[in-house]
Structure 1
Amino acid sequence: MIYQLTYTSEAIETLADDDIYAILKSSEQNNHQLKISGCLLLYNQKFYQILEGNEALVLELYEQIKRDPRHYNVTLTATSYAKEPLYKDWGMIFQDVTTSATDPEDVQQFERTLLMLESLTEKTTESEIWFWREIKKELVKKKVIVH
């Protein structure tokens, strides 16, 4: 069984592109060796992440992540087990619309893509459900989705 862990956190105001690239580089190197995969999203200064792999290794990584000074209010939202990893062979994916999409049309396109991914993703575990629920809540807050 694959262990999954989902959390959210808030990026510090001074988070720079160099910080983001350092996170990505570290994630790629370490997670590949540990056979941990997942998805990391920075949206509206908030991190959303799902990690999956060996339970002890994911929990150890999460403890390291909680101590990272580049974010705060780290909140564990769900843990679960899956038969197979959702992000198999992906390593770590990342999208930051705050730095890579300065054009409002690009941001809107990214938000539409998030909605499409959320609707197409088969959410079979508690972690997957929470990951997409948290992202959807942020889209509702931004009035991308109207309830």
Structure 2
Amino acid sequence: MTTLYEVLYASTLALTAQVTQVAGIVTAARTRNAARDITGLLVFDGMHFCQQIEGTRNDVLKLMEQIRTDPRHMDVTVVHEGSLIERRFERFAMGYVASGDEDALMRIGQGDGEQALEQFLALIPTLALDPC
């Protein structure tokens, strides 16, 4: 059995990026993530991203390096990472949901470790998830 790993990060849409680019990012990421057996959930409020990604440690860390160097993101901050017993978002190659609660994403991004993860997981029941 492969050991799972998860990362929860927060970032901000770069000043040079357009909100309209996010749909294309999500579509491309779903394809790439499915090929790598990476699952997770992305929440976006129009300016801030908060995403939990899970898979093998190697694959998750490679993806995080791509996200850190993606010019459409700025202020990428890992707020939680660690081993995972089972997937939290098994049905999502990349679940995506828009949130109108900018304060919630900012709080998660300023959190640390388990506190940030708990805030992220508590936000999920309030969102209308798109499982594609």
| TM tier, smaller | 0.7 to 0.9
Q: Which residue of 1 aligns with 2:107?
A: none
Gapped runs of 5+ residues in structure 2? 105-112, 123-132
Unaligned runs of 5+ in 1: 98-106, 115-125, 137-147
Cα pair 1:48 1:135 within 8 Å, conserved: no
Query: What is the identity, as a one-letter code, of the residue corresponding to 1:133?
Result: Q
Structure number with larger C-alpha Rg: 1
Give the corresponding residue for 2:19.
16
More helix by share: 1
What's the offset of the Cα at 1:7? 0.6
Once residues 6 and 24 of structure 2 are traced to their aligned partners in structure 1, the CA distance between those partners, rounded to angstroms, is 23
- What is aligned with 2:7? 5
Q: Retained in 1: the 8 A contact 2:19–2:46?
A: no
Q: Which one-letter code corresponds to 1:15 in the other structure?
A: Q
Shift of 1:78: 1.1
Counting only pairs closer than 5 Å after superposition, residues 45-124 of structure 1 correspond to structure 2 as: 45-97=47-99, 107=100
Partners of 1:131 and 1:43 in 2: how far apart?
18
CA RMSD of aligned residues (A): 2.4
Number of corresponding residues: 110
